[in-house]
Amino acid sequence: MSVIKKRIGIVGGGQLGKMMILEAKRLGFYVVTLDPDPYCPSHSISDEHVIAGFSDMGSYYKLADKVDVITYEFEHINAEALGLLENAGHIIYPSVASLKTIQNKYLQKSALNESGVHVPKFGKVSSAEDIRRYGEKERFGYPLMLKTTTGGYDGKGNALINGESEVDSAFSQLGGGKKELMVEEFVPFDMEISVIACRGIDGMRVIYPVAENIHANSILDTTIVPARISETSMGKAKDIADRVMEVFEGVGTFCIELFVDNNENVSVNEVAPRPHNSGHYTIEGCFVNQFENHIRGITGLPFGCVDLISPTVMVNLLGQSDGAASLLGLEDAYCEPNVRVHFYGKSESKTDRKMGHFTVTDKTIDGAIEKARKIRQVVRVVGE
């Protein structure tokens, strides 16, 4: 069965968009990027670049007129504009309905909960007194998590409340009274994991191996695959990922972030309707990576094999200082033949900004972890 060649529009020109384009161009697609930064990572490899803000309604129409299908590399975009395009007959994957639900963490958790997917207990709050009520022993108790329902990422928009004395400061810190907030019970997890899942236009699905994620300062630091959890927990995680794809009727690549506790209970933390940082390991670790399968999914192509080739460790390269970005230590890193470094091409380094990553493959998980430990000592991104 032949597939009509399509022109793809991508909202967002960051590293995820860039990696989508690398796969799309290899398959012969024409790609147009929408991003306000004229020097964003995607700019140099886009066939066209619409330089405009994500809140600019007109820019979405301009993008739509140039392409056959629209996707996006992050979810904090103008869903209303995309909805108007969708109503006018333009094709958008994942759907605007799924985007709008996932953009709001309260709606996202509600949709999952109503479908029987295991999530932490949660509730909406509009005052500090509401939070105190959830903090009572017969409800959630302390500690509990306070979150903004929209806009949060990498720990931003979250506040851990350890006791009643911290309620007022957390409420104020997250913009209580001005922003919509929610609370979740605190999950005493043993491990954070994630599953990359893809769903096609025809409903066919593929599920990648379960990844173990280690965070530092609420930012993903290291991903280890396969995750060092029991087969029981792995099975639960994959089953949940499959169900999540049905809940949102997603087309393309999604990431499902989960918690695993010491009783092998698995619950959903958050869902991202796009390729994900924790899925970067798939570029070297799997036969077909998350970005290629995203492009395949949104253009109607069959999915490729998602099996793990060998144990893989991915380490994020965060900016260590502010200034013009400079990648150091590449020659030393490449003395190890099983290392691949990805530098995103952001012109400015900022402290803790995601500037790149590297992956290490090995015959064993322990071997890959040890090699990654050595490589992270030599390769880094600084501002000059």
Question: Which CATH number characterizes residue 170's domain?
Answer: 3.30.1490.20
Q: Looking at the domain assignment, is residue 101 inside a domain? A: no
Which range of residues forms the domain containing residue 128? 121-185
Does 137 lie in the same domain as 82?
no
Does 238 lie in the same domain as 371?
yes
Does 200 lie in the same domain as 179?
no
Q: Looking at the domain assignment, is residue 40 inside a domain? A: yes
The burial class, CB within 10 Å (0-12 / 13-18 / 19+), for 17 is buried
Q: Looking at the domain assignment, is residue 109 inside a domain? A: no
Does 351 lie in the same domain as 210?
yes
Does 272 lie in the same domain as 145?
no
Does 290 lie in the same domain as 251?
yes
**How many structural domains does the chain have?**
3
Does 278 lie in the same domain as 161?
no
The stretches in the chain having pLDDT less than 50 are 1-2
List helix spans (H) across the chain: 15-26, 57-66, 79-87, 96-103, 105-114, 128-134, 167-173, 231-248, 282-285, 290-299, 330-333, 365-375
pLDDT digits (tens, 9 = 90+) for 126-141: 999 999 999 998 899 9
Residue 1 is predicted with a pLDDT of 47
User: Which of 166, 185, 204 is the endpoint of a domain?
Assistant: 185
User: Which of 38, 71, 92 is the endpoint of a domain?
Assistant: 92
The burial class, CB within 10 Å (0-12 / 13-18 / 19+), for 314 is buried
Enumerate the β-bridge partners of residue 180.
none
User: Which of 185, 220, 237 is the endpoint of a domain?
Assistant: 185
Q: Looking at the domain assignment, is residue 328 inside a domain? A: yes
pTM, two decimals, is 0.94
Does 363 lie in the same domain as 238?
yes
Q: Looking at the domain assignment, is residue 107 inside a domain? A: no
pLDDT digits (tens, 9 = 90+) for 194-238: 999 999 999 999 999 999 999 998 899 999 999 999 999 999 999
Does 177 lie in the same domain as 196?
no
List helix spans (H) across 181-257: 231-248
Does 181 lie in the same domain as 205?
no
Does 20 lie in the same domain as 88?
yes
Place of tokens 């409340």: 161
**Measured between alpha carbons, how far is 106 from 148 in angstroms, rounded to an integer?**
9
CATH number of the domain within which 297 lies: 3.30.470.20
Residue 19 is predicted with a pLDDT of 98
- Nearest C-alpha neighbor of 257 from the set 208, 195, 312, 316: 195
CATH number of the domain within which 11 lies: 3.40.50.20
Does 218 lie in the same domain as 137?
no
Residue 349 is predicted with a pLDDT of 96
- Nearest C-alpha neighbor of 71 from the set 27, 31, 22: 31
Residue 262 is predicted with a pLDDT of 87
